[in-house]
Amino acid sequence: MKKALTLISLFISLTAYSQSQFEEKIVLGTTGYNEGVAAVETSSGHYIVLGSVYNGGNNFNFSLTELDQNGNTIQSILGSNVTAVPLAMNITNTDEILVTGYYRASTTDNDIFIAKFTPDLNLIWFKRYGVTGGNDYGNSIFQLNNDKYVLTGTTAISGAAKPSITYLDTAGTILSEFHLNTNQFASPYYKASYLGDGRFSFNRLANLTCIVDTNNTILTNPSTGMGIFSIDSYKDFDGNTVIMSAGDFGGPTGGSLVVTRFDSTLSTVLMNKKYKLSGNNLNGIKITTDYQVGYGNYVIAANAESLSSGYTSALFFKIDQSGLVYWVNKYLPTGSAQSKFNSFIKTSDGGYLLTGSEGSASSTNIFVVKTDSAGMSCNMSTIALTNTTVTQISATPHSLNSGTTNVLTQVNNVFNAATNNGSFICTSISSLQENDAIELNVYPNPLNDVLNIEVEKQENYILKVYTATGQQVLNTMFRNKLQLNTNNYATGFYLLRIEDQNGNVQASRKLVKP
């Protein structure tokens, strides 16, 4: 009942809402090189921030910090008795937290770890996987369905680092494992993005992305036209796939970031743009669709690495479907020599939460930035990027092999309550309006088994519903009234859009299924 009331209060206003903006640093333990790795939003509207905490020597571990909607700390926990470096996090449809990365068995042997926590940050299990004597890394993890998780990363097979896909049940038992037959760069950073439609897009591959389905069949190896390696992939609202890549690297003008937009079949390039910032290497981190009206608009987190000082500045920017830059924001707190982003999420209030680090050459802190829908925050500046059209490059396909990953001796990490000695850098609130072009009534919200949709005008409309990650779950036509069966909708947030016959958005609503 308490959870339902919290969700109701979050969505009580359908015509107006506010977006908290804040920047803060989280400090757990002693001074060292600490950074935010990822974040998720729970169904209660709180944020869980995953931190990598390094306090010198071999003292690597990770933290979880729960923040409320305004950035206030609810609780923090910190691992204490094993050497575990976090690389990714995700949340299940029941608000359980999944964390993966690598466990340092020795200086020459890293093993994958996966930890599962309750929504209250109590450890459920901590498991270790890998090949003895080789380096294994967990680089992404997500829930495929109610009883299956998918881990992607790097596994040491026959003495080589291979991109791997591992399917696990909810208890962490390995069901099957496959790997790509390549070891380009011997990369520890191989990882796949889930496109939400039964396809994985494997990145960190030279000059291409490899698309694999859940039956472990390679569908295609689209070239991304960038010359080095792919970084991240996403399927947008209209079914097209966008791939972000590294275009080139180094001086004298610096490296670039490339965004390639394919059609839904990944056979035709619709847009291929290269972005540069003079005097810097521009390193992409993550790309996804934005919240605003119009298909094919994307938001991108990146880091600008100065060719002169080597310091980085955290960037967040938006482009349209043709590659035109809308805005570019830089987030470098006063007194900090550098800042960096590692990931971001879209939040239920229409804004974004970005995580990374800020600090100096000798120490860094976990850095959290909450923005509105335009990337605006209370401590930021704007800069300009240049962009040019680039030509697609050919690529060599990969093959897929089955493999075996060992479940090693159980390792139990101990997590204790920790105190956040950090501070707010700044806070503010922006008020936004949902500008409907039509009179719309949507109820009930939160959802139960049936959702009623009523439009005053007697005209034909298109109804589209998306998950919080941008996956389309419904596309149907109706006249002015519709009863939608939502009984099978999973717990979480949804975006409802009403369009006219020309595809123009007439109204939108944020929904929640408790």
**pLDDT per residue over 73-90, tens digit each?**
999 999 988 899 999 999
Structure tokens belonging to residue 484: 């939608």
Q: Give the number of other Cβ atoms within 10 Å of residue 456's Cβ.
A: 10
- Both 326 and 445 in one domain: the answer is no
Judged against a pLDDT cut of 50, whether residue 194 lies above it is answered with: yes
Residue ending a domain, choose from 431, 446, 465:
431
Choose between 223 and 371: higher pLDDT.
Answer: 371
Contact by Cβ (8 Å): 326, 320: yes
Q: Tell whether 329 is covered by a domain.
A: yes
**Strands (DSSP E) found in 380-447:** 381-382, 386-389, 400-402, 415-417, 423-433, 440-443
**Nearby residues of 494 by Cβ (< 8 Å), 6 or more positions away:** 447, 465, 466, 467, 468, 473, 510, 511, 512, 513
Highest mean pLDDT among 239-243, 343-347, 491-495: 343-347
218-238: pLDDT as tens digits: 888 887 555 578 899 999 878
**Nearby residues of 452 by Cβ (< 8 Å), 6 or more positions away:** 441, 442, 443, 444, 481, 482, 483, 484
- The total number of structural domains in the chain stands at 2
Q: Tell whether 201 is covered by a domain.
A: yes
- Both 246 and 373 in one domain: the answer is yes
> Span 126-144, mean pLDDT?
91
- Both 180 and 59 in one domain: the answer is yes
Q: Give the number of other Cβ atoms within 10 Å of residue 262's Cβ.
A: 25
What Cα–Cα distance (Å) separates residue 188 from each residue in 135, 159, 180, 184, 281?
8, 13, 14, 10, 21
- Both 32 and 139 in one domain: the answer is yes
Q: Tell whether 231 is covered by a domain.
A: yes
Distance CA(496)–CA(36), nearest Å, equals: 31
**Strands (DSSP E) found in 27-108:** 35-41, 47-54, 60-67, 73-79, 84-91, 97-106
What is the predicted pLDDT for the residue at 144? 92
Residue 96's identity, in one-letter code, is: E
Residue ending a domain, choose from 416, 431, 446:
431
Q: Tell whether 3 is covered by a domain.
A: no
Using CB atoms within 10 A of its CB, is residue 411 exposed (0-12), middle (13-18) or buried (19+)?
A: middle
DSSP code, position 152: E
Q: Tell whether 4 is covered by a domain.
A: no
Distance CA(262)–CA(243), nearest Å, equals: 8
Residue ending a domain, choose from 409, 431, 453:
431
- Both 348 and 450 in one domain: the answer is no
> Span 19-36, mean pLDDT?
88
Judged against a pLDDT cut of 70, whether residue 403 lies above it is answered with: no
**Strands (DSSP E) found in 372-504:** 381-382, 386-389, 400-402, 415-417, 423-433, 440-443, 450-455, 461-467, 472-478, 481-485, 492-499
Q: Tell whether 13 is covered by a domain.
A: no
CATH code, 161: 2.130.10.10
What Cα–Cα distance (Å) separates residue 208 from each residue in 233, 321, 392, 506?
11, 21, 10, 38
What is the predicted pLDDT for the residue at 11? 34
The domain containing residue 488 runs over which residues?
Answer: 435-513
CATH code, 493: 2.60.40.10
- Both 364 and 474 in one domain: the answer is no
286-301: pLDDT as tens digits: 999 886 544 458 999 9
- Both 37 and 184 in one domain: the answer is yes
What is the predicted pLDDT for the residue at 407? 61
Choose between 124 and 322: higher pLDDT.
Answer: 124
> Span 376-393, mean pLDDT?
81
Name the pTM for this structure: 0.80
What is the predicted pLDDT for the residue at 408? 64
52-71: pLDDT as tens digits: 998 777 788 999 999 999 99
Judged against a pLDDT cut of 70, whether residue 6 lies above it is answered with: no
Q: Tell whether 45 is covered by a domain.
A: yes
What is the predicted pLDDT for the residue at 17? 44
- Both 322 and 465 in one domain: the answer is no
**Could you tell me how many residues make up the chain?**
514
> Span 132-156, mean pLDDT?
92
What is the predicted pLDDT for the residue at 397? 63
51, 121, 371, 467: CA torsion to nearest 10:
120
Structure tokens belonging to residue 82: 């094993």
Choose between 494 and 425: higher pLDDT.
Answer: 425
> Span 449-461, mean pLDDT?
90
> Span 477-490, mean pLDDT?
91
- Both 387 and 339 in one domain: the answer is yes
Mean pLDDT, the chain, rounded, equals 85
Judged against a pLDDT cut of 60, whether residue 463 lies above it is answered with: yes
Distance CA(507)–CA(488), nearest Å, equals: 24
- Both 138 and 262 in one domain: the answer is yes
- Both 141 and 254 in one domain: the answer is yes
**Half-sphere exposure at residue 486, Cβ-oriented, CA atoms within 13 angstroms:** 28
Judged against a pLDDT cut of 60, whether residue 105 lies above it is answered with: yes
Report which secondary-structure segment, H or E, holds 24. Answer: strand 16-26
Distance CA(241)–CA(192), nearest Å, equals: 14
> Span 166-188, mean pLDDT?
88
Q: Give the number of other Cβ atoms within 10 Å of residue 123's Cβ.
A: 18
Banded model confidence at residue 130, pLDDT cuts 50, 70, 90: confident
What is the predicted pLDDT for the residue at 373? 82
Percentage above 90 pLDDT, the chain: 49
- Both 34 and 165 in one domain: the answer is yes
Q: Tell whether 11 is covered by a domain.
A: no
What is the predicted pLDDT for the residue at 343? 98
Place of tokens 């009883």: 147
